[in-house]
Chains A and B, each alone.
Chain A
Amino acid sequence: MGLVLTIQSRPTMAKFGAETWLPSMVSLSLIREIAPVITALICAGKIASSISAELGSMKVTEQIDAMEVSAVNPYKYLVVTRILATTIMVPILVIYADLVGVYGGYIGYNIHGDITMFRYFSDVFEHLEFLDIIPATIKTFFFGFFIGMIGCYKGFNASNGTAGVGIAANSAVVSASLSIFIIDMLAVQITDFFF
């Protein structure tokens, strides 16, 4: 993401003589918006579909019913664990994507230019503030929570056999992706209001 963004933005920035702003522009774009949203969308595609398909197939093959009649709370065992996992892991993946993306920006910059790593990262951190990172990271917890919750909800409500499992997985990806855009929009509004 960082590499592509740098390569794409460079000609325009160069036109305005603002090439030196490239490291900070790329890192800000990545950390505030692109890395969290793209990572969450990838997770929505991979994790929400996987959770809903797994729980959906458990539902249609009566495995969840079997759990319930064994006096095991399936929500506690199957839902809480998954939501907790996505809520914790999505922010970690986003931080990882931030780091890889910013480093990608450095590689992208050096394809047509020449900058040392120290200079590049000095430029990145010079314009990066604490308030750029915190709200962007907080919203990723919500992304993770909703990805897990929607995946579980769709899986638990799957019906009509294997066809229903496919529908649940598909619907989970669409709903989770949509929820990411809505949460992102709300997060931007709230961040703008307070900061």
Chain B
Amino acid sequence: MEKKETIIEITNLHKKFGDNEVLKGITLTVYKGENLVILGRSGSGKSVTIKCLVGLVPADEGEIKVFDTDITKLKKTELNTLRVRIGFMFQNGALYDSMSVRQNLTFTLKHHTKDIEKEAIETQINEALENVGLLEAIDKMPADLSGGMRKRIAMARTVIIKPEIILYDEPTSGLDTITAREISELMVSIQKKYQTTSIIITHDMACAKSTSDRILIVKDGVINAEGTYEELEKSDDEWVKSFFI
């Protein structure tokens, strides 16, 4: 049997905000090329987990290994070297609203790839926007875009640096069913095209079904259940089943 290559390994991750202990020992592994979906109720610590993964939120305790490097022990500059290999798509897109779509992508690309040629920037921007089907929005400001378009542009901005890992924080939240399905399909197509490894935080079961290779369910700051969509759907655990109703 082929041995899977581990890309992300989180062991016994703890995080407290004041008296509120959000993560109480999360342990998980993500293998190369897989789409891991993390489900859980609001406030269960899903987003905090992926924010710890990129060092946005410092972990209180535990080990977070990304590409075999424990990021909890890295200095800021070392962490930034690792961050250029990871893409992060925020819940509301987090587009820089003082910049146009073109500037949003250029800014990210220029900081990621030093000394990049102007022509190369233009080519990569066009490619990223074509991937998400929004080439016509290149000169628009984020305020002029709909929720779905903002998410697509955010996805283009995430993908433009060709990351090896992509972390999606509720990519379909606040979208209608059709747009949510389009975003889910886009995530799958990007994963296939660029051979990325992804962690997808979502509440959207349709999204989880279409994108996941494996699903983890977080309850009260720990991993409560693990399996494929089909396995978890047939679970006897009432709490796990409640996600699939």
Contact = CB atoms under 8 A, between A and B. Distances in A.
Say whether A and B bind each other.
Answer: yes
Interface of A: 54, 57-58, 61-63, 65-73
A63 B97 contact: yes
A69 B92 contact: no
Nearest to B57: A65
Contact of A68 (B56, B84, B96, B161): B56
Contacts of A73: 80
Interface of B: 51, 54, 56, 80-81, 83-84, 86, 88, 90-92, 94-98, 107-108, 111-112, 161
Contacts of A69: 54, 56, 83, 86, 88
B84 A71 contact: yes
B111 A72 contact: yes
A72 B94 CA distance: 14
Q: What 3 pairs across the A-B complex have the smallest Cβ distances? A: A71-B80, A66-B94, A62-B94
A61 B81 CA distance: 25
A62 B111 contact: no
Chief secondary structure at chain A's binding surface: helix
12 contacts: A61-B92, A61-B97, A62-B91, A65-B56, A69-B83, A69-B86, A70-B111, A70-B161, A71-B80, A71-B81, A71-B83, A71-B84
B77 to A, nearest CB: 9
A66 B92 CA distance: 11
A96 to B, nearest CB: 27
Nearest to A60: B92
Given A70-B112, A71-B83, A71-B84, A62 B92 contact: yes
Contacts of A62: 90-92, 94
Contacts of A66: 88, 90, 94-96
A67 B104 CA distance: 10
Contacts of B80: 71, 73
Contacts of A58: 96-97
Contacts of B94: 61-63, 65-66
A142 B91 CA distance: 40
A54 B92 CA distance: 17
A180 to B, nearest CB: 27
A192 B107 CA distance: 49
Contacts of A70: 83-84, 108, 111-112, 161
Nearest to A54: B98
A63 B84 CA distance: 17
